[in-house]
Amino acid sequence: MMKRKLLIWCIMLLAVLVAFPASGQTSPSSREGIRDLVGDVRGASPGAEPWLGRLRDGSLEFFRAPDGGYVYIDAEQSPSRRPEQVARGFLATHGRAFGIASPHTGFTLKRIRQSCGRDQIRLRQTYHGLDVFAGEIFVILDGTRRVEAVLSDIMRNTEVLDNLDVQLTPTVDLQDALANASAFMARLANEEDWRVQAEDVTAEHFKVFRVSEPMIYDPTIVGRNGSPSLVWKVTLGPRGGRPIEEVLLDAFRGKVVFSWPLTQDALLRDIYLPGGGMFGYTPCGPLRGGEGEGEGEGEGEEGEGEGEPPCVDIPVRTESYCSPTEGEGEGECSCSLWTGDEDNCYTQGEEIENADLCWEILEDAYAFYYNQHSWDSYDDQGTPISITVNAFLMGNNAKWYGEKEFIAIGHRLTTDDIVAHELTHGVTQHISNLIYAGESGAINEAFSDIWGEFIDWLCDVTDDVPADRWLLGEDLEEWVLEIMCTLTPCPDPPVALRSMKDPPSYRMPDRMGSPYWEPGGNVHLNMGVVSKLCYLLTAGDTFNGRTIRPVHDDIQDSMHAVADLFYETEYMLSEAADHQFLFWALIFAATLDPDFLGADWWNLLYACQAVEITPLSAVFEVNIDGSEEGRLVSFTAYGDCVLLKEVVHENCTSVQLARKPEVPEFIVEVEATGEIVARVDGESGDLYLKGDVYQSVYHVAADQGELAFQLETDFDQPEARVVIDSSGDLKLYGHLWENNEIYEG
């Protein structure tokens, strides 16, 4: 019998998705599928268990065989079989473990990549031949093409489709639905005040650029509630402009059910409209020579005209791909030659400071990606990088325009971290294509800050000092910061736009349980969680009751290792990846990286637990008033007890365990006798135990007597992770953390 008396102002119960084991009720199909999958593991050491990351419905989101192990499929499996063939054979045999129950579920190949001696097969989900929006599964094969790991982000509940409760043929007129989409854009523009001119924005300001074939939309894939439905994916933008938004239109009601922007910005979001002047710009042209889309007037404006794209105002320092000697008229340039500094093309006859600066930053950013990751330009195809400086953008912003693949930088915003931030959006688009909304959008933004900051460290354009590290936009002029900080939270006086080391100082969360965390909210705020994780791994620090060591003692070496880890991780992220999916991808990528072996792998796990992106984060927390300062003790589903204030006292007397009148406290007592066996003091945060602390207990249970406190995390066969028994012993599957270190007794 478990009994808890909670004599405390606030006890926080945090809902999480728990892994090996997890909360929820496993369906019979998934339960049997998981049993069969585990039973087919071969080659591992006796007693070694696979990693099983489960979702609320009990199906697997992540699977990894034990070290040296693999999944046996059939006797015909051999290295000569194609990777895609092996992946499909695995899903046909073990798909039930991942919630694949419908015979109408299929997969199409999206990409095969070889890395670290392994094949990564990325598959797109279909249903009855229709694409499932953002439904993806990754199957990773070892060097002998045997299944080693799987990450799954797919539609699992197909019951309403299988039962024909949802038809697969649209019933609403497409043109009526498209009119609704334009009206949605107008409402969005007016609500967020996107206007450039004084009048309100109307549906007539927008046009449809593209409409997909009907597809299936499952809201749970993007972290929302609801059942699958039939939709069109529609791309919209202002008339006379470029595509800026994609929406999903319900094919039965014609209503917008989901939307996300195609422009990723460094700060806030905006739009341009006819007559409002989208840009007053001068392009800081491609980093490398070659053909590309032009921005000239008249024919060929979108790169469709004849000949080379026009070069407009490109005052570069070196390696310009433009030459004034081939211009067809005065003030015109051709971009067909690679020239030196003395042949720079200035159509206005003068240099532009921001364009020169931009050129140098792009050169450093390009070099970082190429030297660090062997990645060529923003798309790994060596495509010229087009960027516009001194662009007129509402809010004086900076943006990556994903549809046309170019960057626009607002007035006086040409700094190394901001330019590299926007370039990284282009890289992300071509690797994971993270949807720019919800948790996937926050991860997208964090990645841009991570590489923006790392490139900032190595960029020769500015001389950063250690005090400037982990700040974004610290090189902006004071008056620019003052303007930007009227639109986004900043300290007073402002010194930067964001801090990766201390996100809460900019009203951003540094962990998923932070009061600044907004479920499904602003990507520019929620990004603080992954930014903090990067900081902890690179620089090391104490945070949320744990001490995290840097990957290397030298911070430059640490930076290179962390950049490689996130780069490899991104290849295993689905388009709609949330922070839990990111955790599984990080953990698997780390097992392949020599910088994260042994204790360093555990250090990564502790860092992920500290920012609470693991499925094993806090599920029971003692808090005196619900505030950040009021947090005292956190019990995690991994079996950790984290003391956030003070220390633990073992073998306490009845006097030490006695209640303190008028003091908020957390009391654990034995129901039969009323004896107090554990107490958390609400003033000091100390934990008092009648008995002892036992850590790393494989099977957590009371040795004798009854349980006074138990934290269970499993499906059909509950297994305790934290126990306080009637003798006052605290038994943990994990560890006790005291003063930010693992308790040594």
DSSP H helices in 192-224? none
* Higher per-residue pLDDT: 281 or 730: 730
Bond preceding residue 504 cis, omega within 30 of 0: no
Residue with structure tokens 């992540």? 62
- Number of residues that this document lists for the chain: 745
pLDDT tops 90 at residue 126 = yes
Residue 46, Ramachandran bin (φ over 0: left; ψ between -120 and 50: alpha; else beta): beta
pLDDT tops 70 at residue 77 = no
pLDDT tops 70 at residue 401 = no
**Model confidence over 266-309: pLDDT tens digits?**
433 222 222 233 333 333 333 333 333 333 333 333 333 333 33
Task: State how far the Cα of 155 lies from the Cα of 100, in Å rounded to an integer.
Answer: 8
Task: State how far the Cα of 53 lies from the Cα of 59, in Å rounded to an integer.
Answer: 8
**Model confidence over 218-272: pLDDT tens digits?**
999 999 999 999 999 999 988 877 788 999 999 999 999 999 998 765 433 222 2
Average pLDDT (584-588) is 96
pLDDT for 404 equals: 61
Torsion angles phi and psi, residue 484, rounded to 5: -65, -35
pLDDT for 397 equals: 64
**Model confidence over 506-553: pLDDT tens digits?**
999 999 999 999 998 899 999 999 999 999 999 999 999 999 999 999
* Residue 307: other Cβ atoms inside 10 A: 13
pLDDT for 345 equals: 42
Tokens of 350: 């003068």
Average pLDDT (141-152) is 95
pLDDT for 238 equals: 86
pLDDT for 288 equals: 32
* Higher per-residue pLDDT: 718 or 215: 215
Q: How far is CA 402 from each of CA 423, 479, 608, rounded to the nearest angstrom? A: 10, 29, 30
Q: How far is CA 603 from each of CA 564, 587, 608, 722, 735, rounded to the nearest angstrom? A: 16, 11, 9, 22, 13
* Higher per-residue pLDDT: 285 or 599: 599
Contacts 24+ apart (CB under 8 A), 474-478: 474/417, 475/415, 475/416, 475/417, 476/412, 476/413, 476/415, 477/412
pLDDT for 720 equals: 81
**Model confidence over 444-470: pLDDT tens digits?**
999 999 999 999 998 766 666 778 899
Amino acid identity, position 551: V
- Per the CB < 8 A criterion, the answer to whether 166 and 160 are in contact is yes
Torsion angles phi and psi, residue 363, rounded to 5: -60, -45
- Per the CB < 8 A criterion, the answer to whether 446 and 472 are in contact is no
Residue from 286, 281, 325, 279 nearest 303 by CA: 286
Residue from 696, 693, 700 nearest 745 by CA: 693
DSSP H helices in 163-292? 174-191
Is 374 strand, coil or helix?
Answer: coil
pLDDT for 625 equals: 86
Residue from 601, 605, 620, 604 nearest 513 by CA: 620
Q: String of b and e for 722-740 (b: at least 16 CB within 10 Å)? A: bbbbbbbbbbbbbbbbbeb
Task: State how far the Cα of 614 lies from the Cα of 603, in Å rounded to an integer.
Answer: 13
Cβ-Cβ contacts under 8 Å for 250 (sequence gap 6 or more): 172, 177, 229, 230, 231, 256, 257
* Higher per-residue pLDDT: 410 or 721: 721
Torsion angles phi and psi, residue 557, rounded to 5: -65, -40
Q: How confident is the model at residue 339 (pLDDT cuts 50, 70, 90)?
A: very low
**Model confidence over 5-41: pLDDT tens digits?**
333 333 333 322 233 333 334 466 788 999 999 999 9
Average pLDDT (43-70) is 91
pLDDT for 330 equals: 41
Is 618 strand, coil or helix?
Answer: strand
Q: How confident is the model at residue 588 (pLDDT cuts 50, 70, 90)?
A: very high
Residue 438, Ramachandran bin (φ over 0: left; ψ between -120 and 50: alpha; else beta): left
With a pLDDT cut of 70, the percent of the chain lying above it is 76
Residue from 697, 537, 714, 704 nearest 610 by CA: 537
pLDDT tops 70 at residue 44 = yes
- Per the CB < 8 A criterion, the answer to whether 284 and 358 are in contact is yes
Give the DSSP per-residue string, 509-530.
Answer: -SSTTSTT--TT--HHHHTHHH
380-394, 598-612, 665-679: range with lowest mean pLDDT: 380-394
Q: How far is CA 195 from each of CA 190, 278, 522, rounded to the nearest angstrom? A: 7, 11, 21
Is 302 strand, coil or helix?
Answer: coil
Residue from 545, 365, 331 nearest 462 by CA: 365
User: Residue by residue, what is the 3-state secondary structure of 635-704?
Assistant: EECCCCEEECCCCEECCCCHHHHCCCCCCCEEEEECCCCCCEEEEEECCCCCEEECCCEECCCCCCCCCC
Task: State how far the Cα of 740 lies from the Cα of 730, in Å rounded to an integer.
Answer: 19
Q: How confident is the model at residue 605 (pLDDT cuts 50, 70, 90)?
A: very high
Cβ-Cβ contacts under 8 Å for 629 (sequence gap 6 or more): none
Cβ-Cβ contacts under 8 Å for 524 (sequence gap 6 or more): 267, 268, 445, 488
With a pLDDT cut of 90, the percent of the chain lying above it is 54
Q: How far is CA 530 from each of CA 509, 554, 643, rounded to the nearest angstrom? A: 10, 22, 23
Highest-pLDDT range among 50-59, 382-391, 678-687: 678-687
Q: Please give the mean pLDDT across all residues of the chain.
A: 81
pLDDT tops 70 at residue 186 = yes
Average pLDDT (359-367) is 83
Q: How confident is the model at residue 349 (pLDDT cuts 50, 70, 90)?
A: very low
Residue from 683, 679, 682 nearest 649 by CA: 679
pLDDT for 278 equals: 34
